[in-house]
Structure formats: C-alpha cells, structure tokens
Amino acid sequence: MTAEFVKLEFEGPVALITIDRPKALNAINLQVLTELDGALTQILAHADARVLILTGGGEKAFVAGADIAEMANFTPMQGLALSTKGHQVFARLEALPIPTIAAVNGFALGGGLELALACDLLYASEKARLGLPEVSLAVIPGFGGTQRLTRLVGRNRARELVFTGDAIDAAKAKEIGLALEVLAPEALLPRCKEIAQKIASRGPVALAQAKRVMEAGADLPLKDANEIERQAFGLLFGTDDLKEGMRAFLEKRKAAFKNA
Ligand code: CAA
C-alpha cells in the first residue's frame, strides 16, 4: 500500500508512525484513518516490531484533530461513519500486542489528543498543546476522547477540558497525569526511542500479556481483574522466554528472548 499521509518506518525493534500532513497540521481525514489502519496491519505482520512510537510530521503539530474541512458538510450518517471508523482504527491501535508511545510534538487537539490517548504512554514536547476543543465547533469528541480521557485523568479534569474546550500546555498535562514527561522539542523523539529500546529488551510475550491484562481488567471489579492476571501469570510459565529470562538471571547474563 502506498501511503500519502501516514509514514511507517522500522528501526530495529521500534516501529515509527508519522502522521505526515503538515499543511493541515496533520489533521485526520478518512484517508489518514485508512492509511493508519494499513500501517497497523503492516506492524502486526512485522514479527520483529516490539514497540510503536507515533508522532506528527512538521514542526507544529502532533495532530490538530479530525479534518474540519472534510466533515463540515457531513450528514448525520456520514458523521456516524467517521466516528465508527475512527473508533475501529483507534481500538486496533489500542489492542496492538506491543506497547505504544505517543510522542506529542505539538498541537494534539480533538482527534489528535484522542489518537494519543489510544496509545499506552504519552510523552510531550515543551511546545505541545493538548485539548478537546470540539464543543467550540458545536460537536463532541468522536474518537473516544470523552471516554479515554475520563478514565485516564478522572471525570473532574476531563469534564473541565471537554466543557471549556481549552488546550493545556505540556506541564499542565504532566500535572494531571496525561503526559508522563515534558521534554525539549529536540529531546522528545530520542527520549521516546530510548524508552522504546528499554521496553524492547524485555520479554515480549510478557509485555503483550501485561498490556492485555491491564486493558482487560481496567473496567472490571478488582476480583475479576485479578483473576485475569492470575491466569496470564500461570500461562507465561509455558513460554520459552520465561524460562530464558529466569535462567539468565540465575546465570548472571543478559536474556535472549525469542517472543515464544
Ligand atoms: N482540520 C482541518 N484543517 C486544519 C485543522 C483541522 N482540525 N487544524 C488546522 N488545520 C489547517 C488550517 O485550516 C490551516 O490551513 P490553511 O493554511 O489552508 O488555511 C492550516 O492547518 C494551519 O492552521 P492555522 O493557520 O489555523 O494555524 P495556527 O497556528 O494559526 O493555529 C491551531 C493552530 C490552534 C491548532 C488551529 O489550526 C486550530 O484551532 N485547529 C483546529 C483544532 C480543532 O478544533 N480540532 C478539533 C477538530 S474536531 C475533532 O477532532 C472531532 C473528533 O473528535 C473526531
């Protein structure tokens, strides 16, 4: 597939997706969603990919939201279809069996923040501005923002961001638990790659299970969530990687994992 707006590169175990439509501040139109979906399929087929980093092309934006020009004249059914497609693609991103990192290098607004929220970890440049400004367009977040932001930062903070439509800076995003670290613009991608390399050195089957268990348990009563953890913990003892990881520790050497 030839992608115009979504670039996918592999650097060893790290997959890097760049939403690259800088003239429109990387706004997400239907084509971007299709291309992002295609990139996720390629990552799933790439056996060596252990971590995904997602960022925005150009100097100014991560992603400035869904494409307002494209959707301005949508009918209700077209609006529903856009939201459905966004939810489907972001759910695939969220369900990838590898950890995902949003490197928020600039504006992450509306659908852009929602894209970052569908990633596992969020690191922000000092230049980043994050928000859900949809109500200023008389629409609401449609790619999961009302739900994922609420689950991440709590109803109180999420309501304030959704109702005011205000964007916050990276320091505030860190303060409310949305961003993990705030970095100088030139340090953002190197730091995300450093974290990605560290994650990539860990046991891949265990990482996939840790991610799955944390996702699956998030909305369950603690008793049921702990049961999911218990089952996954036991199953990992059937993997070669677990034997290798524990043997390597006991033999005081670095483990060589095979994702098996
Ligand atoms: N959709 C389409 N085009 C967009 C865009 C978007 N979301 N955001 C920016 N652009 C375009 C602008 O129209 C402009 O294009 P032209 O050069 O052709 O005029 C270009 O990108 C540069 O943008 P600005 O000139 O506006 O740049 P700025 O630095 O003055 O402002 C900004 C930057 C504050 C991010 C401003 O562009 C902005 O407010 N953008 C819209 C943000 C927004 O409302 N996002 C939410 C969209 S709705 C949504 O996402 C729904 C959903 O949940 C699914």
Catalytic one of 4, 35, 134, 194: 134
Q: Is the pLDDT of residue 1 over 60?
A: no
Average pLDDT over residues 86-100: 98
Reading phi first (left if > 0) and then psi (alpha if -120 to 50, else beta), residue 11 is in beta
List the beta bridge partners of residue 181: 123
**Model confidence band, residue 2 (pLDDT cutoffs 50, 70, 90):** confident
CATH superfamily entry for domain 204-250: Lyase 2-enoyl-coa Hydratase, Chain  A, domain 2 (1.10.12.10)
pLDDT at 86: 98
Average pLDDT over residues 159-176: 98
Average pLDDT over residues 129-154: 98
* Index of the ligand 1 atom closest to the CA of residue 68: 1
pLDDT at 55: 98
Active site residue 134: yes
Average pLDDT over residues 140-154: 98
Amino acid (1-letter code) at residue 70: E
Tell me the per-residue pLDDT of 174-204, one tens digit each, with 9 for 90 and over: 999 999 999 999 999 999 999 999 999 999 9
pLDDT at 200: 97
User: With b meaning 16 or more CB within 10 Å and e meaning fewer, what string describes 196-227?
Assistant: beebbebbbbbbbbbbebeeebeeeeeeebee
Tell me the per-residue pLDDT of 222-250, one tens digit each, with 9 for 90 and over: 999 999 999 999 999 999 999 999 999 99
Q: Which fold would CATH assign to domain 6-200?
A: 2-enoyl-CoA Hydratase; Chain A, domain 1 (3.90.226)
Active site residue 114: yes
- The domain segmentation of the chain, as residue ranges, is 6-200, 204-250
pLDDT at 167: 98
Average pLDDT over residues 139-148: 98
Q: How far apart are CA 15 and CA 191, in angstroms?
A: 15
Q: Which residue is associated with the tokens 């060893």?
A: 12
State the average pLDDT for the chain: 97
Tell me the per-residue pLDDT of 36-88, one tens digit each, with 9 for 90 and over: 999 999 999 999 999 999 999 999 999 999 999 999 999 999 999 999 999 99
- Closest residue CA from atom 6 of ligand 1: 67
Tell me the per-residue pLDDT of 14-29, one tens digit each, with 9 for 90 and over: 999 999 999 999 999 9
* Index of the ligand 1 atom closest to the CA of residue 111: 50
Beta strands 61-63 and 107-109, pairing class: parallel
- Closest residue CA from atom 19 of ligand 1: 24
